[in-house]
Structures are given as C-alpha cells and as structure tokens.
Chain A
C-alpha cells in the first residue's frame, strides 16, 4: 500500500493565480527557445537560438541601450529586442532607444548572427503581465511598430504590432497556450528583486554539498564557487554585473550567518570566529564526516527546514513508506 506521508503541509511557492514576476516572464520567454517537455517552444521552432541576457550597448544614436533579452534566429535572419515588464511602467525614452537600434548595431556590437546582414530584421517587443496590459498599451500605442505581448498563467497573446517575419508572427498572433509548468531554472534568481527565500533555496543546499565532499570547514568563497556557475560566468565581470556579484556575496554571507545561528541548522553548522581579521566568513560542519545515514537524513531535513523558514513556508517532505520503510524512523529521530 502506498502511503504518502506529509509531515507538514503543502508548499505553494510561486503564485499561480496572480501576476507573473519578472523572473517568471524571462524564464518563460527563454524556455520557448528550447525544446522542453511540458512547455511550448515556438521560438525554437523558428531557430531562435541566440539568447543575450541584459546586453548593454550603444545604438547608432550613441545612446546606451540595455534591454532584458535579445533573441535571434539565423534561419529567419531576425532579431527581437525584448523588454520584460511585470509591472505597468514603461518610459517613452526607453522605447525610442530600442527603436533607434539598427541591424548594424546588433551585428557589429553584439555579434548577432546573420546570414545576410543587410536584410537582418530587427523588432522591438515588450512582454508584460496581463494585469497591467492597459497601462502598457496606453504608452505603447503611440509606437505601433513595437510589439506588445501579454502573458498570464493561461496564454501568451499579442496585444499590438506584428513581427517582421511571418512565420513566428503567425504563431504568436494565433495565441500560445501557457501551462502552469513555467520553467524556473534557466535564470534562477532575479538580481533586481530581494527574494531571500529564493536565495536560501540556492545557497543553503551547498551545506549538503560540503558534507558530501567531506569538507568540514568552508568559507563564503567556497559557497560562492558552488552557487556562482548558475548565476554568472567564471570571470565574474559580465551581466548581471560585478556589482550584482558583490551584492550577492554580501547577501549570501548574511543569510548563512543568520541561518546557522538558528535552530535546527545550528546543531550541524557553526560560524568559525577565530579566523584572522579580514578573512572571509568561515563556517564549520559540526557533524562527523562522512555522515552516518541517520545523521545525514536529519541534517538534510534541517537544511529543508531552514529554507522553508526563509521562504515563510511550511516544510514539506514526501516519503513513500512502503518504498523506503526505513524512513519511517524519520518521524522520531533526533540528530
């Protein structure tokens, strides 16, 4: 008999009924350029494989342009400059900067691939939340060549404008149905949002990483070395930018310092204070490595609980008793 044990009640992480966040909109847009199970991929079908994230460049009017994303297809000889808006504010200056971008700007400065540069089509598009479509439309309607697409948890549809290429245009004009399974890991963190829960979900599992690697003592640099590849390049100097890197490092340190001070993590990890002045924040696993099975389970539960606490959620653990009878011991186990 399969029994589902939920030791504490359900987690509803991202809100599926209200507005989509910037992170969800960006992830959805990017996901549509990959063949991915359980999600539509219209842009991938038309060969959009170049995905530039937050590029900063100057257009031929010498104005700095910083869109959220540029998608480009060699097959269609087409590039789309995207601005993602979870809210309803859009500045005319921003629109004019996008409209001031020529094919040559994109090819020469950003290396956008083009099989025939003189014929590269460049579109500017906004992706917004359906809740704010009226506000966005009020501004964008003065710029009819700009495409406005609106997304919610059901569909993606065009509110204004047409793409220069008929293939992708026909697909989006017909509307794309969006399932609730919007990918979450292509861009795992929004640098502009102060999402402590999301950061905790990325950072605190590294404690398990060090336990597996039998690394008793680690510092904030070690933690960043595990987390960083998911967020920025090795050289740490391009988008989302070094300021973001420094900020993220600071937030990560604060998060860890706080988390290991509280129960239940403090049973397993402590901050090492007797380090030379100026050294990076250092932590130590206070359990014997390699972890014994019982300790491991309790330690992993403690990490889950700490993440759940940061997210303001209750912890959920799904344990199939008949499959893993030994896990029934979890209920009463103390580290």
Chain B
C-alpha cells in the first residue's frame, strides 16, 4: 500500500478516493471492498494544552506512543504531518492545530475504528473528541441535517439505573437510521413522544453544508469524533471538518477558561504592606438528568468503573442518603477531578469541579457518554447558568 510522504500527496490520494466513492454512491452502487469512504478522527492531545508545541515535540510524543511491534511512525516532508502505520491501517496525523489533531485514513472502518481506539485508549496524552448530541446536528456548523442515526432502546437505556429487573431479550438496543429531505420535521414529531425522546440518543448523523458557487460538503459525524467524507470534494470536506474541530476546540477551551476552579491573586493597592487576597475563580459544572428515577448507587458504580466509557475511578463517600462526594481520577489523563452525585426532587445530578490542571475533554467525555448510555435529555450548565455544548 502506497504511503503519502507529504500533505500534497495525501490530499491527492484523499481527493481521488472521495470522488470515486462519491460517483459510486451517486449511481446507487455499493462500495467495493477497497473503496472505503475516507474518514477523519478528531483526536485531542492534551499534553499540548499549555506548553508551546513544535514539530519536534509532537514527533517525540508520537514516537513515545508507537512502541508496540507493528507500529511504525513515518515522518513526511511537511511539518506537523505524520504517517502512522498501525497493523494494516495507515493514519495520517495532521497536528497543525497542535492540540486537536486530525487523524485521516483511507482504510476500512472495521480496522480503523479499533486502531484509533487502541492508539487513544492506551495513552494518557491522547483522547477522542466527544461530540454531544447538539454537536452531531448540522445547525452547529451552518449545515442542514440529512440523516440521523439513533439508538432506540425499548425499555430505557442500556444502563437502566433502576433496580427493576429488565428481561434479557429487551436489553439489546436497536439502531435506526432516519434519512429524509425534511428530517428535522420528522425528528421533531418523533421527539414529541416522551418515551422516544428519553430513549433515543443520536449516535451519528450526516450533514450537508453549502459553500459558495454551488460547492458543498457532506460529512458523517459520530459521537466519538469520527467524521466520514461523503463527498463530493476534498477542499469542501476539509473546510467543514475544520469547522467541526474549531467549534469543539472552542467549547473545550472555554470550559477550561471559565469553569476551572482556581484561587487567583487579587492585586492590591499596598504591595509593601503584604496584603494577602485570594479570589475564587471558575465555577462548578452541573449535569441534570431529565429521567427519574435514577439510583445513584448504580450511577456512581457506572461512572467510576475505570475501564467504562467515562474512564474514571475514584473514592466515593456517601455524605447523605443518595448523595456522594467523589475524589476521582481521570483514568485517561491522570488528572484529579472532584465529583458529586445526588438526587433532588427525583431529579439526579452530577456536579463536576475542574481545577487549573484539568483537561476539559473529560467534561465532554462524561456528558456525551451520559447522553449515549443514561439519559439523552440530560442537560449541562456552568455555575454562571450558561448551558454548555449548546
């Protein structure tokens, strides 16, 4: 398999693949085995949150990551652009935006999903971008929705969070893809049903954005940051992909800036007199569940299972019946995190306390997985009342 050794070569290969796949799909044909849709994974490299990164540092990190046999790092002619071979998958990592990388690939989903998963999971310096439901909708990027993929669970979500026994045959959720020109209307009608609204998280979507002079891009978005190119050309595709990345990156940085708790020194008028003044800045973040009843004992065990989707572990202390104070560790980055889980008036909540060193990607990871596995209608807001990921 040929490997591109520069951005230019890569763009040529990617463009060729998009247009061929696009033609095939337009003619209503299925893609051949070697005609996979090209795709991009959004990856967050939080090591570069504060440090001034450069090409060498990114290279050093990638070298440290790829130590297993059958993992090869190939430098290209271009700065911040690397080819990575993971078994039979080639990822092209574009780290020009040094914290939020684009990992492009032309290989088969069945291989690439697991390759990216193993790369990201096995390393405390990388994480996926976790897209909450609002970030799977076209409106966020000036685009229209063409298809929504939802997971329908007939008895509530996989994680019932109640002690009511659920028959095994009903525990398997069903995936449904809805595609229509007026998808938003259909979706709106579906959401009027309470059971559907509370049991159907959006897992993926296809959105289309029109650019100037009849140019457009169609992309598929999945909640774990996977973006699929659905035509027709590379320049529009990458334009839309970078819009998604910029929107996500902005939210993460804003959370870190506005909500990370810290004591800030307040300048005083008499420095010689050594007045000592510290102001508490930042704010807690709250996630409120829409669906009662939730057993917080079970919710805590789900949140803190270190290999679970939230990838947290912690020491949970029951402060009051149904109310827990947790000293957690993000098992992805190792950062500490304060969490509280409780119930008030039948409505469960999770409070998060980020600190200066925290990476806000944990907020996106936690909230997205809560939407996917617990409550699609959960809401998240900051201590100033502003709704997040909105």
A179 touches B344 (CB 8 A): yes
B301 touches A56 (CB 8 A): no
Q: Within the assembled complex, what's the spacing in Å between the Cα atoms of A327 and B383?
A: 36
A181 touches B323 (CB 8 A): yes
Contact with B along A14-34 (1 / 0, CB 8 A): 101000000000000011001
Q: Within the assembled complex, what's the spacing in Å between the Cα atoms of A57 and B382?
A: 31
Asked if B52 lies at the interface with its beta carbon under 8 angstroms from chain A, I say: no
Q: Size of chain B's interface in residues, with CB distance under 8 A?
A: 81
Contact with A along B313-325 (1 / 0, CB 8 A): 1111111110101
Asked if A208 lies at the interface with its beta carbon under 8 angstroms from chain B, I say: yes
Contact with B along A50-62 (1 / 0, CB 8 A): 1111111110000
Contact A229:B276 (CB < 8 A) given known A38-B351, A304-B315, A316-B318: no
B residues near A4, Cβ cutoff 8 Å: 163, 297-298, 301
Asked if A109 lies at the interface with its beta carbon under 8 angstroms from chain B, I say: yes
Interface locus among A74-82, A156-164, A184-192, A273-281:
A184-192
B residues near A297, Cβ cutoff 8 Å: 306
Which one of B164, B286, B339, B355 lies within 8 Å of A230 (CB-CB)? B355
Contact with A along B344-370 (1 / 0, CB 8 A): 100101110101110000000000000
A183 touches B334 (CB 8 A): no
Interface locus among B7-15, B77-85, B93-101, B259-267:
B259-267
Contact A208:B269 (CB < 8 A) given known A229-B357, A316-B318: no
B331 touches A318 (CB 8 A): no
Contacts A35-B383, A209-B329, A313-B317 supplied; 15 other A-B pairs, CB < 8 Å? A10-B318, A35-B381, A35-B382, A35-B385, A44-B383, A44-B385, A110-B266, A180-B321, A181-B344, A183-B284, A184-B325, A185-B338, A185-B340, A212-B333, A226-B336
Q: Within the assembled complex, what's the spacing in Å between the Cα atoms of A28 and B313?
A: 26
Asked if B159 lies at the interface with its beta carbon under 8 angstroms from chain A, I say: yes
> How far apart are A102's CB and chain B's nearest CB, in angstroms?
14
Chain B, range 262-283, C-beta contacts under 8 Å to A: 262-270, 273, 275-280, 283
Asked if B177 lies at the interface with its beta carbon under 8 angstroms from chain A, I say: no
Q: Which residues of A contact B (CB under 8 A)?
A: 1-2, 4, 10-14, 16, 30-31, 34-38, 44, 50-58, 108-111, 179-186, 188, 201-202, 204-206, 208-214, 226-227, 229-230, 232-235, 237-239, 241, 290, 293, 296-297, 300, 303-304, 307-308, 311, 313, 316-320, 323-324, 327
Asked if B124 lies at the interface with its beta carbon under 8 angstroms from chain A, I say: yes
Contact A108:B269 (CB < 8 A) given known A53-B278, A55-B275: yes
Q: Which residues of B contact A (CB under 8 A)?
A: 122, 124, 159-160, 162-166, 261-270, 273, 275-280, 283-284, 286-288, 297-298, 300-302, 304-308, 313-321, 323, 325, 327-336, 338-340, 342-344, 347, 349-351, 353, 355-357, 381-385
B315 touches A201 (CB 8 A): yes
A233 touches B306 (CB 8 A): no
A183 touches B269 (CB 8 A): no
In the complex formed, the residue of A with least CB distance to B382 is A35
In the complex formed, the residue of B with least CB distance to A16 is B320
> How far apart are B197's CB and chain A's nearest CB, in angstroms?
20
Which one of A51, A57, A206 lies within 8 Å of B336 (CB-CB)? A206
